[in-house]
């Protein structure tokens, strides 16, 4: 399993290699190039799946549908 991913900001193109959390999806990421707050695209569970070169550990381990379902459940319970 890969735990490092390079995120690419869609606003400015800045790239940054980050360590992905193994036990949760990361919903937000602030670009260190332009300050844009990245959020997952529709259908993705986290910013790594939307803007990263490598999908997040839950997707690597369980596949996309399982991770998206879990992320949706977490978002709903925190409202």
| pLDDT at site 24 | 79
49's enclosing H/E stretch is helix 47-51
Higher pLDDT, residue 7 or 58: 7
Pair 30, 21: CB distance under 8 Å: no
pTM value > 0.85: no
Say yes or no to pLDDT of 19 above 90. yes
Residue 10 structure tokens: 């869609």
């Amino acid at each position: 399993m890969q735990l490092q991913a390079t995120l690419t900001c869609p606003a400015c193109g800045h790239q940054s290699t980050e360590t992905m959390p193994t036990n949760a999806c990361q919903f937000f990421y602030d670009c260190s190039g332009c300050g844009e707050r990245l959020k997952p695209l529709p259908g993705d569970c986290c910013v790594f799946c939307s803007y990263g070169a490598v999908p997040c550990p839950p997707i690597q381990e369980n596949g996309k549908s399982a991770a998206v379902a879990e992320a949706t459940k977490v978002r709903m319970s925190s409202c």
